[in-house]
Amino acid sequence: MKAKEKQFLTEKFNDYQNGQLSDPEKKIIDEWFDSRMEDTASDHNNLKAAKIGEDLFANIKQSIRYYPTKKASYNNGWVKIACTFLILSGLSFFILTSPTENTAKPQVAWQSYSTSKGEVKKIILPDGTAIWMNAGTQIRLASDFGTSNSRKLQLDYGEAFFQVKRDTLRPFSITTQDFVTTVLGTSFNIKSYPELKSYKVAVATGKVKVDYHKNGKLTALSSGLVKDQVLTYNHDTHKTSVVHQDVAHLSQWKSNRTLYFENLTLAQIGAELSRQYAIEVKISGTPDVKQTYTLQLQHQDFQTVLRRLVLKTGISYRLNNKVLTLNPGI
């Protein structure tokens, strides 16, 4: 199309937008829009832009043929062609830039595994990886876990011990909130309960990489944790610490359900007891939030566990109708 013709079309369309066309001209354009846009909107994803252009121009030429060859009709015909040109441009941009059903990237689905209060469960993944899930834990496995170039899963909350099947070609990664833990083949424990306000990774064998993911950026917290190293990220202080510790001792819960409380407040101990014994726990009074306790309790009957808790901490308790109330002092 020549430059003069394009300019003429643009001017006519501007007149239409600004309400400067006569009523007959405007009526012709409106009717044409109504009829043609309904026909093309429903199947624009299946047609090429050039094909739409050919159809539109052919229809316009056909409609112009039946108008008298006087000046007003000549202008009406050119106005319609202007509209066609602009519609074609808009549809071409829409078709070439909008995703279609055939090119859209498929959404990844997730399969969920969870444990209720008082439950510890072991699951085996398709690649042979074994996972022990502590009470009150939820894990989600990507649907393409067995076919993609990487093995991905989500630990939404809770505690889990991973014994990852080694595969140097397909890294194994666990996303927990803003943290990504990546391995090739190793065993380690991740603990991330909401009330603890921390993220903890304890390595039993092999090497583990831990990254912090925020605002689309990965920051390495540790490029290679090794056996008996424990990384802890504190959500309140945003600080990371790495210490040496007996990880076999920390992960006894998966074999005999031993409870290990490390620098926990009374409220945090109450939350763990509630999770392990499926009982409601309350804290009386206003406990000292700076007072923490470190102790280990074997998983025995609840009354025995409570008596041992009293002996080791000096607190008292009241148990009534499956509601446990912990008192900071006797």
pLDDT recorded at residue 49? 47
* CATH assignment of 258-327, among 3.30.2390.10, 3.55.50.30, 3.40.190.10, 3.30.450.40: 3.55.50.30
Determine contact, residues 228/203, Cβ cutoff 8 Å: yes
Tokens of 125: 């993944």
- Rg over alpha carbons for the chain, rounded to the nearest Å, is 34
Count of other CB atoms within 10 angstroms of residue 309: 21
What pLDDT score was predicted for residue 102?
53
Amino acid at 121: K
How far is the C-alpha of 177 from the C-alpha of 44, rounded, in Å? 41
Total-model pTM: 0.67
What is the predicted pLDDT for the residue at 44? 44
- 3-state secondary structure (DSSP) of residue 295: strand
Q: What is the pLDDT of residues 107-132, one digit of tens each?
A: 668 899 999 999 999 999 999 999 99
Side chain identity at 216, as an amino acid letter?
G
Rounded to whole angstroms, the Cα distance separating 301 from 258 reads: 12
Instruction: Map tokens 């190293």 to a residue.
Output: 229
With beta carbons less than 8 A apart as the criterion, state whether 131 and 165 touch: no
pLDDT in tens, 175-206: 999 999 999 889 999 999 999 999 999 999 99
- Classified by CATH at the fold level, domain 110-247 comes out as Jelly Rolls (2.60.120)
Question: Which residue stretches of the chain have pLDDT < 50?
Answer: 37-50, 52-53, 56-57, 60-61, 63-74, 91-97, 100
> What pLDDT, on the 0 to 100 scale, is given for residue 65?
47
Cross-strand partners of 124? 130
Whole-angstrom CA distances from 298 to 9, 91, 112, 301, 313 are 85, 70, 30, 9, 15
Query: What pLDDT score was predicted for residue 206?
Result: 95
Question: Which stretches within the chain are classed as H helix?
Answer: 3-17, 23-41, 49-65, 71-97, 247-250, 253-256, 266-277, 302-313
The per-residue pLDDT for 237 is 94
Residue 168: exposed, middle, or buried by beta-carbon count in 10 A (0-12, 13-18, 19+)? exposed
